[in-house]
Amino acid sequence: MEMMFLWPGRTRNEKLRALQKEYLEKISRFCRAKIVESEEPRGLGEKWADNILEKEGKGLEKHLEDGYIICLSDKGKEMTSAELARLIESQALISARKLIFLVGGFLGLAPRIMDRANYKLPLSRMTLSHELARVVLLGQVY
């Protein structure tokens, strides 16, 4: 089983970056896993939200291939840790496809990227910052 954790751009908070690395190392003991931080547009202010999402989308698409995509989302049905573990196990059993966990940037994800999700997964009813959500996801998969 192969896993990819994919998001647009570098996680900026140094401590959260360090935690990402720590959890990835733990996950890597059990399967092939990597973090991919795809291209992000530079120098666009928040008022260019659509342009940012569009450019991030293009960067993400290069990595989506034919994986099974689990996309963090504020919509969808929350899972328990056991349910997530079962989803991961069942994917590993029925298919050789890479499992791609996708987390958006501070603006979320372009709708056409979200539409490619095989599963939309909210981590919580609360809104977590996108960088913290990445770490919670990694901790959860571990």
Q: Which long-range contacts (CB under 8 A, 24 or more apart) does 43-47 make?
A: 46/107
Is 132 near a second copy (CB under 8 A)? yes
Selected from 10, 46, 80, 96, the binder of a second copy by CB under 8 A is 80
> Which are the contacts of 19, defined by CB distance < 8 A and separation ≥ 6?
135, 138, 139
Kindly state the helix (H) or strand (E) to which residue 94 belongs, with its residue range. Answer: helix 81-94
Q: Which is nearer to a second copy, 1 or 132 (CB)?
A: 132
Query: Is 131 in contact with 13 (CB distance < 8 Å)?
Result: yes
Measured distance CA(102)–CA(134) in Å, rounded: 9
Cβ-based nearer residue to a second copy, 14 or 66 = 14
Using the rule CB under 8 A, is 18 a contact of a second copy? yes
22 scored as a contact of a second copy (CB under 8 A): yes
Give the number of other Cβ atoms within 10 Å of residue 76's Cβ.
Answer: 14
Would you call 14 helix, strand, or coil by DSSP? helix
60: β partners: none
| Residue 12 is a binding residue for a second copy (CB under 8 A) | no
The smaller minimum CB distance to a second copy, of residues 22 and 39, is found at 22
Interface with a second copy includes 81 (CB under 8 A)?
A: yes
Shortest distance, position 18 Cβ to a second copy, whole Å: 5
- Nearer to a second copy by C-beta: 118 or 140? 140
Any contact of residue 76 with a second copy (CB under 8 A)?
no
Interface residues toward a second copy, by CB under 8 A: 15-16, 18-19, 22, 78-81, 84, 123-129, 132, 135-136, 139-140
